[in-house]
Each structure stands twice: as C-alpha cells, then as structure tokens.
Structure 1
Amino acid sequence: MWKLYALLAAVFAALTAIFSKVGIRDIDSNLATAIRVAFIMLLTWGIVFYTGATKELKSISGHTFLFLLLSALATGLSWLFYFKALQEGDVSKVAPIDKLSVAITIVLAFIFLKEPADFKTIAGGLMITAGSILLLF
C-alpha cells in the first residue's frame, strides 16, 4: 500500500507546483507560504479531529515531539525557498531541481538511519542527481 501512497504523494506534489506557480504570481512568496500553511493546518487538524487521533496527544514523547519540530522547521524552510524559486524561475526547472531532495534523502537515510542502499537505489539517485544538474546549466 505504501507504493500507492507514494505515487499519490508524487501526483499531489506535481499539482502543488503548478497551483503554487499560479498562486504566487501577484503576492510575496513568503506571504503565499504562510497562507498555504494556514490552509494545511486547517485541513490536517480537521482530519485529526474527524479520525479521533487527538487522543494520542498525551502520549507523545519528548523525543518524538523534538523530531516533529525539527521536521516542521525543515519543511517550513523548504517551502519558503521552494516558493521563492517558483516565483523567480520556471516550474518545469524548479520542481526537478527540488527533487534533488530524493538523492540527498537516500544518502542521509544510508548514513543516519542505516537503511540499505542497493544498486537500484544508488543508480536511481545518481540519475536524479544527473538530471537535476543538467537542468541547472
């Protein structure tokens, strides 16, 4: 099932790039990011309340909370830079370069999470990197 979720994430990420490019045409990219975050908060908290997941709030450890906070900071910075890049560049070039995150994630997962890096994973990461570098120049 994770493959379906990953594919859906990719489809919605693609739509995000297109919708964002249109949405930031006439406003500051930082303001656009803040508006986007507000909508995401409403959506996700709505889902949490609807599914009853709020009962888990009391059991969240400090360790988990810390890494969720770090993840939020990284996400926020990623979105701010992504929107700024979209505002100044073509979405067809910005989005693939942004996907260098896939190759960086593979390396970081190998180093810090001790995940296996087989031939397909390494080759795929190298191809993504090569494609992104090609778009940079």
Structure 2
Amino acid sequence: MWIVFALLAAVVSATVVTLSKAGIKNVPPSLAFAIQAVLIILVSWGTVLWQGLLPEIGKIDRKSWVFLLAAGVLTAASSLLSFRALSLGDASRVSPLTNTALIFSVLLAAFFLKEKLTWQVLLGAGLMVAGAILIATTKPASKKESSSKNGRPASGTTIYESKPTA
C-alpha cells in the first residue's frame, strides 16, 4: 500500500510544481511560498484535529522534537529555494533537479539510518542523476509567440503603437 501513497504523492507534487510556476508569474517567490504555507498549516492541523491526535503532542519525546523541528526548518528552506528556482527557470527543467532529492535521500538513509543499498537502488539512483542532468542541461525549447484569434490580438497585448506615426 505504501507504493500507492508514494505514487499519489509524486502526482500531487508534480501538480504543485505546475500550479506554483503558474502562480508565481506576477508574485515574488517568498510571498507565494508564505501563502501556500498558511494553507499547509490549516490542512495539517485540521487533519490532526479530525483524527483526534492533538493529545499525542504531549507524548512526543525531546529527540523526536529536535528531529521534527529541524526537518520543518529544512522543509521551509527547501520550499523557498524551489520557489526561487521556479521563478527563474522552466518548471520542466527545475523539477527534475529538485527531485534529485531522491538520490540524496537514498544516500542519507544508508549513512544515518543504516538502510542497505542494493545494486538495483544504486543503479536506479544513478539513472535518476543522469536523467536530471540531461534534462537540466538541455537547451530549452523556444516559446511560441502569442497568436491572435479571430483577427484580435492575444490577451495582454495592445493593438496601438506607443509612439504615434506621422
């Protein structure tokens, strides 16, 4: 069942990247992240309340608090960096690079959590690195110019010259 949840998380994450890129066109990346963060807080604490887990807070040990708080700070930093990258680059090129986090996760899990690495995991991680590098270093496709429909200019364009011609 974990595979289903992991794949659903991947689909949702990909959708988030696409929506975030569309949303930050006219919004500073830090502000866009702050707006999303408020919603994350509301949804996550709403889930805790709905599941009746609020009393469990008192049962969390000090070591777990340290790990969870550190992970929270790093999650915020990661999101801020991702939003900045998205504001500067194409989502189709930024996302593969940010998803090299998968490779770092494999390495950190092996080192800190003592998880065993098989040749299949190492090969898969290597292929992911190669794919991310290939996508990120490929020249982006040129964007098409705005086209007109029914003889009218596309939305956001003007039909008048800024300088009068005489």
Normalised TM-score (structure 2): 0.81
In 1: Cα distance, 2:134 partner to 2:17 partner: 20
Q: CA deviation at 1:111?
A: 0.9
1:1-137 maps to which residues of 2 (within 5 A)?
A: 1-137=1-137
For residue 136 of structure 1, report the CA deviation from its aligned partner. 3.1
CA deviation vs aligned residue, 1:51-102 (integer Å, no higher than 9, x gap): 1010101101111111000100110010000000111100000001111100
Gaps of 5+ in 2: 138-166
CA deviation after TM superposition for structure 1 residue 135, in Å = 2.5
**Which protein, 1 or 2, shows the higher relative CO under an 8 Å CA cutoff with sep ≥ 6?**
1
In 1, Cα distance between the equivalents of 2:136 and 2:72? 27
Is 126-135 or 69-78 further displaced after alignment? 126-135
- Per-residue CA deviations over 1:88-135 (Å, capped at 9, x if unaligned) read 100000001111100111111111111010111000100111111223
Report which of the two structures shows the higher radius of gyration computed on alpha carbons. Answer: 2
Stretches of 4+ moved more than 4 A in 1?
Answer: none
Deviations 1:18-48 (A, max 9, x none): 1100111111100111111100000111111
Report the Cα distance in structure 1 between the residues aligned to 2:41 and 2:104, rounded to whole angstroms: 27
How much is the aligned-residue C-alpha RMSD, in angstroms?
0.8
CA distance in 1, matches of 2:87, 2:115: 36
Fraction of identical pairs, as percent: 36
Which is helix-richer, 1 or 2?
Answer: 1
Structure 1 unpaired stretches of 5+: none
Give the number of equivalent residue pairs: 137
